Amino acid sequence: MKTPDRVQSAGGIVVFHSGDSLMRQLDVWSDRCPGCDLRFSSAESSLEICNASRRGTFVLIDAVEDPKRARLGMLWVTAVREAPVVAVYTEAADEGLELFVRTRGGLLLLGPMSNASWDGVFGGVLQSSTRKPRCGLVKQLRVGREAERVAAGVSEPSSGKQCSAGSCRLK
């Protein structure tokens, strides 16, 4: 099994909070795709997640073990990315998580998934791996209060404070 933060090749898929099930699936999938760009990140803080997400064109966040942490991670990723391709992976149906992810323009992936399913999800990313990721360094998002509300278990959008991508930490 691959270890976190180990770059598998030179490319565009960054995986956060990967648990055993997702790691096994991606390990099998990446063996079939030797030229893919797959990175497992152990980033935890908002600044680490923001910085690591800038290195990829596709961000995958595992919500199996901790959906609340996945919601916060998605907020931080989308705060710094102009046009992110963000997906949240889970193995249990959760209407609250689905609503949260989809209203923010993300993909919700219900697993476990087959290699063919992973090919479909990552296919466009691998075909356009020469494209540079676009980072929205000046994009603003209501991260402050919204992240606090998510941490408290309240996931409705709020008017929250605005912060720039350079300061996406919780205040």
Task: Write the pLDDT tens digit of every residue in 89-98.
Answer: 999 999 999 9
For β-strands 86-90 and 38-41, DSSP reports them as unpaired
| Residues 6 or more apart in contact with residue 55 via CB below 8 angstroms | 14, 39, 133
CA distance 109 to 76: 19
**Mean pLDDT, residues 50-59:** 86
Assess if residue 143 is contained within a domain.
no
Alpha helix (H) ranges present in 32-143? 46-53, 67-80, 95-103, 115-127
* Cis amide leading into 112 (omega within 30): yes
**Mean pLDDT, residues 96-120:** 94
Say if residue 1's pLDDT is above 70.
no
Q: Which residue bears the tokens 């893919």?
A: 36
* Domains in the chain, number: 1
Average pLDDT across the chain, whole number: 74
CB atoms under 10 Å from CB of 8, counted, come to: 19
Assess if residue 44 is contained within a domain.
yes
49-58, 122-131, 143-152, range with the lowest pLDDT? 143-152
CATH number at residue 113: 3.40.50.2300
Range of the domain at 24: 13-133
Assess if residue 61 is contained within a domain.
yes
Say if residue 80's pLDDT is above 60.
yes
Q: How confident is the model at residue 170 (pLDDT cuts 50, 70, 90)?
A: very low
Assess if residue 169 is contained within a domain.
no
Q: What length is written for the chain?
A: 171
Say if residue 23's pLDDT is above 50.
yes
Assess if residue 166 is contained within a domain.
no
Beta strand residue intervals within the chain, DSSP E: 13-16, 38-41, 58-62, 86-90, 107-110
pLDDT at 74: 93
